[in-house]
Amino acid sequence: MIPEDYVWLNPLIHESWLYTADKIERQPELLEIPLRNIERWIKMDRLGDVRPLIEWRELIERAQASAEGFAELLAFLREDGEYARYLKSCTPFPGVLDKEERRRFTCVWTH
């Protein structure tokens, strides 16, 4: 269960999602990265419950299929509601941000 004050404990988490959405908006081809992660993780049986990964895959595939789906995904990535926080806790987006970009959002709150 994600604490209710999750983002308030670490406000950079939401900022990193906003940044990720902006980057994907500029470079939609980056959506191949989370799709590859999802497929690899499902094959590796990385999680007992793969439903979050399947939901991510559906969101991303809709984003690749239409402008409406792309807008829906970007809005979801920028959302900070309870369900968005839940699904983002199982993020397939490692690799979308490079090392320097990740450092912008981790160095302050990991030291």
From first to last of the 111 residues of the chain, give the pLDDT tens digit.
Answer: 444 544 445 678 889 999 999 999 999 999 999 999 999 999 988 678 899 999 999 999 999 999 999 999 999 999 998 899 999 988 999 999 999 888 887 755 544
Which residues make Cβ contacts (< 8 Å) with residue 28, sequence separation at least 6?
A: 63, 64, 70
Domain containing 104: what range?
A: 6-110
Q: Cα(80)–Cα(21) distance, rounded to whole angstroms?
A: 13
Domain assignment of residue 47, yes or no: yes
Domain assignment of residue 100, yes or no: yes
Number of independent structural domains in the chain = 1
Task: Say what the pLDDT of residue 7 is.
Answer: 43
Q: What pTM, to 2 d.p., does this model score?
A: 0.83
Task: Say what the pLDDT of residue 34 is.
Answer: 98
Domain assignment of residue 1, yes or no: no
Domain assignment of residue 102, yes or no: yes
Domain assignment of residue 75, yes or no: yes
Q: Cα(75)–Cα(94) distance, rounded to whole angstroms?
A: 19
Domain assignment of residue 17, yes or no: yes
Q: What six digits make up the tokens of 5?
A: 């004050």
Q: What six digits make up the tokens of 54?
A: 């399947």
Task: Using alpha carbons, list the distances in angstroms from residue 88 to 43, 47, 66, 72, 111.
Answer: 20, 15, 22, 15, 23
| CA within 13 Å, CB half, 83 | 4
